[in-house]
Amino acid sequence: MNAAANSGANRAAVRVGVGTRFQYDGEVIEVVELLVTTASNEVLLKNATGQRVIRVSMRELLTSDRAQIIPARPGPSADDPQELASVLLAELTDAERQQLRERTAHVQEVLTGYCSGTAELAAEGEPRPEFDPSLPLTTRYQSKATELNVTMRTVQQWVSDFHNNGEAGLIPKKSLARNGPAGRVDQRWIETASEVMVEHTEESKPSRTMVIDRTNARVEARFGSGVVKLPSRATAFRVLEKLERKHPTFRLSTKRNRDIAERPDEVYGKLRPVRPGEYVLMDTTRLDVFALDPVTLRWINSELTVAMDWYDRCIVGLRLTPVSTKSVDAASVLYQAFRPRPAGRDWPAHAVWPEHGIPRSVLLDATAIERPGVASPALVPETIVVDHGKIYLSEHLTSVCRRMGISIQPARLRTGRDKGPVERFFRTLREDLLQALPGYKGPDVHSRGLSPEADAFFFLDELEAIIREWVAMVYHHKPHSSLIDPHLPKLRMSPAVMFEHGIARAGYIEVPRDPELGYEFLQTKWRTIQHYGVEIDGRRYQGRVLKDYENETSPYAGKGDGRWPIQVNPDDITRVYFRDLNSPRKWHTLPWEHAPSLEMPLSEDALEFARKLAAAKYTYPDDKIAVADLFERWNVGLGQTLPERRMALRLSRERAAIDLPEDAPEQTMSALPSVARVLAATASSGEGPVDAAGEPVADMGDDDADDLEALDAEDDFYADALEDA
């Protein structure tokens, strides 16, 4: 054993002295003299022709990339074709490993007289007389061959392999030549099968039998009948199972297979934000749960738009809308990063974010300072990462980002991994919250229940409130496996803790310098200024500031030629906003002419619904009659249907998507305030508060118990809802 080890060590080392050759700067040189100086050891080198002599330090000769030693005899090298000994030994079965131990013991007994290879670990009776180290090596070879019933040539080969590669050299050759993944199947058949599987990347999922039949037919057409041996059906199935790892076709969904096929060929990189607000991810997804539209009272699918800070995974803005989402919805989500929504009054302390941070330039109004807390952290994104959806590349959002100094980084086409964290959030939302709610319909048609819409009693605004509470109370305080500090790789942090970590690390965050920048997130509509004000979709707005512009010529060109820009919030059309061009340039609110008769915000969808109801009842309806009639039917309580009373209750609680300046431990889903209120109302049948007409009403958005019982009792509820819509 020691002799073999020394032999391997000698062959792995090269003697450096007079006569040793090197390749230096592409030229073969030879050591002609070793010099010892006070500074270091040096060598004198000359080239093959002897015309050039150089003097370099031994350290440079051995460590510099310019020089490479030329061994005088063969030996182990890094580019040897055989695998590492550890790799070869790891591939052995238990039986093969035991056979290798026995063969190694035999070889060491031949070389040293001891099965262990050393006298210090001699077994009883060692060395045996026929293997005494004093005997000639040939005699010991013959004795071992006789003992194992093999030829002496075989024993000599074992010893040679042991000298060359140690124990790994004694591995049985049939183990090294074990069949590969495809066995003995013709490589041409394997390549053709792989080709057929790749062709189905964009196609519907095929069966294995069809792929085998197509492969056989293509092989015979390409190489001729009988030229390539076709594998048996069982063997072909095994080959396809191996090829499935390289080209997924049968096991996963076709969507997942396409995603795997489109993975980039380059080495994966990773964008590493270093502080909160550096990168904000924005995306929209359709939720896997039914909701009830408070305006049309129809069962609808909903889309959730979120903005996530990449550094800490905090959700800095979200908006739930009926299909489809508009650019103003995306802008409102982005605005929530600037000015977060107020926290719920019944939220626990750990879910409320304080007004924090020391920005470089900030101007806060008094109401912002006095607010008790907000639902999410406040920051100004430096860059937003979006997909190629129209709402994200719209003129509205891009102009707002350009104005705010926010860069837009579009993700690659059909590459969801570019927004991986937000895509993972959608999955977490579905698995941890949505599937526990009534009306959950599953991620696809194969996972859908018999009638999920029959259980959906959450209105759209209720569902958004539930998601906000879950994000604030659960998601922001749940440790994430991806939120780690490289200095503490074992520590898993929550988004809230990671945000504090980012503040401490960066030393600052950026927040909006002026709250009135929120007006610029609204939708811009160009209108002329008349003596009665401005008219938008048949609605007239008036304000004292417009009197100064009645006879003024608009300074704008293009789309604004002769018109003036008006900022409109589609979730509250009771007022619009106009910016005075005179000094100081200040925003002014223009109320709707019918706004004094309203006691709640009114959206564009609600007004359109009111117009349809009035058109069916009156010959010459106008907006005042339509809205008054709608509110009369909602609020008086005489003869209304249950859906109308429900819609009035929801609209009375509706908030604008953009809140303009003028105006802890993990919990279960049932612990969220909104969910608890609805579940409590469902389970209870006690009497609640009543309105002036004596009709039951809900307190702070609770569903009335009698209403919920009526939902279960009246079979024609859905038909009534559709008729009213």
The predicted-structure confidence for 274-295, as pLDDT tens digits, reads as follows 888 899 999 999 888 877 766 5
Do 588 and 638 fall within a single domain? no
Do 348 and 470 fall within a single domain? yes
The predicted-structure confidence for 170-191, as pLDDT tens digits, reads as follows 887 765 555 454 568 889 999 9
654 φ, ψ (degrees, to nearest 5): -70, 135
Q: How many residues does the chain have?
A: 725
Which helix (H) or strand (E) segment holds residue 29: the answer is: strand 27-36
| Final residue of a structural domain among 70, 97, 116 | 70
Alpha carbon distance 127, 123 (integer Å): 8
pLDDT of residue 646: 47
**Residue 659: CA atoms inside 13 Å, Cβ hemisphere, count?**
16
pLDDT of residue 226: 87
Examine residue 399 and state whether it is found in any structural domain, yes or no: yes
Number of structural domains the chain divides into: 6
Place of tokens 């002599």: 53
| Final residue of a structural domain among 226, 261, 296 | 261
Q: Which two tokens stand for residue 462?
A: 């209720």
Mean of pLDDT values over 582-604: 76
Are the beta carbons of 353 and 377 closer than 8 angstroms? yes
Examine residue 678 and state whether it is found in any structural domain, yes or no: no
Are the beta carbons of 657 and 319 closer than 8 angstroms? yes
**Lowest-pLDDT range of 245-254, 262-271, 306-315:** 262-271
Do 578 and 498 fall within a single domain? no
Do 483 and 621 fall within a single domain? no
423 φ, ψ (degrees, to nearest 5): -65, -35
Strand stretches in 89-241, DSSP E: none
| Final residue of a structural domain among 14, 37, 70 | 70
Residue 383 CA to its chain's centroid (Å): 17
Full DSSP string of 317-349 = EEEEEESS--HHHHHHHHHHHHSPPBPPTT--G
| Torsion sign across C-alpha atoms 223, 228, 233, 238 | negative
The answer for residues whose C-beta is within 8 angstroms of residue 417's C-beta and 6 or more apart is 423
Q: Which two tokens stand for residue 157?
A: 């080969």
Examine residue 322 and state whether it is found in any structural domain, yes or no: yes
Are the beta carbons of 385 and 280 closer than 8 angstroms? yes
The answer for residues whose C-beta is within 8 angstroms of residue 557's C-beta and 6 or more apart is none
Mean of pLDDT values over 651-670: 49
129-143, 178-192, 364-378, range with greatest mean pLDDT: 129-143
Q: Which two tokens stand for residue 481?
A: 């496996």
Of the candidates 636, 654, 621, 639, the residue with the CA atom closest to the CA atom of residue 697:
636
Examine residue 270 and state whether it is found in any structural domain, yes or no: no
Do 326 and 413 fall within a single domain? yes
H helices of 618-702, in order, are: 623-635, 642-652, 673-683
Helices 604-617 and 623-635, packing angle to 10 deg: 90
Mean of pLDDT values over 88-106: 88
Do 633 and 557 fall within a single domain? no
Examine residue 664 and state whether it is found in any structural domain, yes or no: no
Q: Which two tokens stand for residue 141?
A: 């070879």
Query: What are the CA-CA distances from residue 107 to residues 156, 158, 164, 567, 677 (Å)?
Result: 9, 7, 13, 91, 81
| 552 DSSP assignment | P
The answer for residues whose C-beta is within 8 angstroms of residue 540's C-beta and 6 or more apart is 532, 533, 534, 592, 593
Quick check: 557 pLDDT over 60?
Answer: yes
Under the banding of pLDDT at 50, 70 and 90, the label for residue 329 is: confident
pLDDT of residue 583: 67
Alpha carbon distance 237, 207 (integer Å): 11
Mean of pLDDT values over 337-363: 66
H helices of 457-530, in order, are: 460-473, 495-506
- Residues of the chain with pLDDT > 90: what percent? 20
Which helix (H) or strand (E) segment holds residue 315: the answer is: strand 315-322
Do 442 and 372 fall within a single domain? yes
Do 313 and 443 fall within a single domain? yes
Do 705 and 587 fall within a single domain? no
**Lowest-pLDDT range of 414-428, 435-449, 698-712:** 698-712
Which helix (H) or strand (E) segment holds residue 468: the answer is: helix 460-473
Q: What residues make up the domain containing 35?
A: 2-70
Do 649 and 706 fall within a single domain? yes
Q: Residue 517 corresponds to which amino acid?
A: L
Report the largest interatomic distance among the alpha carbons of the chain, rounded to a whole angstrom: 125
Q: Which two tokens stand for residue 477?
A: 């305080």
The answer for residues whose C-beta is within 8 angstroms of residue 138's C-beta and 6 or more apart is 152
Helix/strand/coil percent split, the chain, to 5: 40, 15, 45
Examine residue 677 and state whether it is found in any structural domain, yes or no: no
Under the banding of pLDDT at 50, 70 and 90, the label for residue 687 is: very low
- 554 prior amide bond cis, ω within 30: no
Quick check: 305 pLDDT over 70?
Answer: yes
Place of tokens 């070879």: 141
The answer for residues whose C-beta is within 8 angstroms of residue 6's C-beta and 6 or more apart is none
Alpha carbon distance 253, 143 (integer Å): 64
Tell me how crowded residue 453 is: count the other CB atoms within 10 A of its CB: 16
**Lowest-pLDDT range of 445-449, 588-592, 672-676:** 445-449
Quick check: 717 pLDDT over 70?
Answer: no
Do 115 and 40 fall within a single domain? no
Residue 385 bridge partners (DSSP): 281, 409
Q: Which two tokens stand for residue 672?
A: 């969220």
Alpha carbon distance 608, 630 (integer Å): 11
What CATH number should be reported for the domain holding residue 12?
2.40.10
Do 410 and 314 fall within a single domain? yes
Are the beta carbons of 285 and 303 closer than 8 angstroms? yes
Examine residue 266 and state whether it is found in any structural domain, yes or no: no
Mean of pLDDT values over 86-102: 87
Examine residue 514 and state whether it is found in any structural domain, yes or no: no
